Amino acid sequence: MQGGVSASAVFELRNVAYTVPVREGQRDILRGVDFALGAGEILAIVGPSGTGKTSLIRIIAGLVAQSSGEVLFRGRPVAGPPEGVAVVFQDYANALLQWRTVAANIALGIERRLDRAACARQVERCLALVGLERHAGDYPWQLSGGMQQRVQIARALALEPAVLLMDEPFASLDAMTKASLQDEMLRLRGETGASFVFITHDIEEAIYLGDRVAVLRGRPGTIAETHGVGLGAVRDQVASRAAPEFLELRQRLHGAIGAHA
């Protein structure tokens, strides 16, 4: 899945705008946002802070309603968080239930849907997917930031979602942890076949992970341009980042963001 919009779009946003009331009237956060997410695709959305990235992911996730325009999930308008969509937030410390063990956190979305044995099997499988088998009984606050973010990803994967929405998930992690989680995410995409909307302010991360990269820009924010990433499905932290396609796209995105930031 490279370049171009898939005919079978999972998510589709049409002319979405988002406005919040402020003391002197209202502030436009997003305006005229259009894009489609194809099945199995990773769409990276890159933009500087203050362009409404988090608002955009909250709208897609059904946590807030857009002010105008359409948000479609599998062709149906989104009203509230849709089934089959999981969200991974940047601030893992708040997003995890700190009073629950790692295993109990991962079970959060499935413990009432599956019987006990099936739930335990699913938790075990998801622990293995992110390499945390040995930490099932630990509490989140006993783990490093990278491990806590893995717990959050495993908790989302336990739902077996068709779409994962990720809001700057690796932004507060160190460079090494970030790189290993990026590779883990690409591997998980291969194993689960899920689609991803990946929001980041890091241009290189967007290119490295994305099948396509969309640029969110301006105040109010809008999708200014979208680029296919010609790197192939298999990525490598060293080789891919040195490839001419990578460097060329990086330069174009820097220009696209820098000129208008």
The residue ranges that bind another protein (CB under 8 A) are: 49-50, 54, 58, 61-63, 80-81, 83, 85-87, 89-91, 93-95, 97-101, 108-109, 112, 139, 141, 159, 167-168, 171
Nearer to another protein (CB atom), residue 85 or residue 153? 85
**Residue 109 or 221: which CB sits closer to another protein?**
109
CA torsion sign, 19 to 22 to 24 to 29? negative
Asked if residue 194 lies in contact with residue 40, where contact means CB atoms within 8 angstroms, the answer is yes
CA distance 158 to 160: 5
* Residue 160 φ/ψ region, left for φ over 0, alpha for ψ in the -120 to 50 degree band, beta for the rest: left
> How near is the Cβ of 141 to another protein at its closest, in Å?
5
- Looking at the Cβ atoms of 114 and 243, the one nearer to another protein is 114
Could you tell me if 107 and 189 are in contact, meaning their C-beta atoms sit under 8 angstroms apart?
no
CB of 240 to another protein, least distance (A): 27
Smallest distance, another protein to C-beta of residue 50, A: 8
Nearest distance, CB of residue 239 and another protein, angstroms: 32
By beta-carbon proximity to another protein, the closer residue of 19 and 139 is: 139
CA 128 and chain centroid, separation: 21
Write the single-letter amino acid at 150: R
Reported in sequence order, the residue ranges of 89-138 that DSSP labels E, i.e. its strands, are none
